[in-house]
Amino acid sequence: MKPGDWLHILSCQSDRISARFLMPSRSLATQLGKQVNDVEQFYQSTDVQQNDCKYKGREKPPTGSKKALKRASEDMQAEMRHNFNKIFNEASASTSAITTTTIIIIAAIAKDKWAWPFLDPVDVEGLGLYDYYQIIEKPMDFSTIKIRMEAKDGSGYKNVREIYADVRLIFKNAMKYNDEKNDVHVMAKTLLEKFENDLSKEEAHEELNKRLAQEATYANMTRELSTELSKVDMALRSLKTTAISQCRKLSHPEKLILANAFTKLSPDNIVKALEIVKESNPNFKDRIDMVTLDLDSQSDYTLFRLHMFVKNTLEVQEGTSVINHEDNIEEMKNNAKKRRIV
């Protein structure tokens, strides 16, 4: 059913449809329209993201099952605790800012064979690094991170971004203090690159999971919208059927008046009128130079629509009502049923 059918239905039985029905229907149409737009915009934005952002050079995140990811996490945590004698235990359940994923990422770096210089604070006095505090403003190491992760006195991390910033600080301090050819500088640079790569993969995982959750939400919304729209469509079809059955049937004199009024329409409005006929009669053919229309072969619904269209159009076009029962009805009674409209 086309949107314009609403107008024709209301024209046929405007006195039969109460405002109590129309107002809720308009409200429902507005609500459903907004939801449809939301769904369309979401899927359009999803298509753009898929076309424009192929992980931007990052390794595509694996799409294994949740069980596999969970099992991998548990294995990594077990290995971490075994190799590092619990240097990184799981954070307290009360510390909402620290997640298992955060611990796994940091542990993967801390257990690396080149991570040993960064596990504890730099022994400035023992190594004779007397200018260390002049160059490094904020020393950092993994044991200090561990303490802050487990803190319950308000000195702990507020979010994972603070933790990641301190991990980066460990390696940046080492790279800043030591020459590029120094082993500690090389080790720090290598571990920093590994950390950033692991973090990028995890962020890609999180983004993928977020998008999948959104898609699931909008998929449910789409199914619900489809059901609601089907109900609305059925209601409209039922209403149209009822309206058609109750459209007033044009009398023979009114058909003659309608035929005569056709000749007064502008070319553009004649085309619009013929479109009304085509909607109900797809087999109807018209020519550019001449149109033959048998009014008696048209349905009551089509005739009533034509009647309303021509009446309203001519009132606007000529500024007066031209379809009435006073227009030489007797003169047109003798005309043939098939009228040629040029």
Average pLDDT over residues 228-244: 78
105 Cβ contact partners less than 8 Å away, ≥ 6 residues apart: 195, 198, 199, 202
Fold of domain 59-205: Histone Acetyltransferase; Chain A (1.20.920)
Which residues are registered as beta bridge partners of 294?
338
Q: Is the distance from CB of 64 to CB of 201 less than 8 angstroms?
A: no
pLDDT digits (tens, 9 = 90+) for 55-114: 444 444 444 434 443 444 444 444 433 444 343 444 333 344 456 777 777 888 888 888
Mean pLDDT of the chain: 72
Where helices occur in 246-299 by DSSP H, the ranges are: 252-262, 267-280
287 Ramachandran zone, left/alpha/beta (phi>0; psi -120 to 50): beta
What is the average per-residue pLDDT within 249-257? 84
Alpha carbon distance, N-terminus to C-terminus of the chain: 31
Which strand (E) or helix (H) includes residue 294? strand 291-294
If pLDDT is split at 50, 70 and 90, which confidence band does 273 have?
confident
Looking from the CA of 163 toward its CB, the CA atoms found within 13 Å total 29
Three-state DSSP class for residue 339: strand
Q: What is the mean pLDDT of residues 160-187?
A: 94
* pLDDT(26) > 80: no
Per-residue pLDDT, 39: 67
Q: Given this model, what pLDDT does residue 172 score?
A: 96
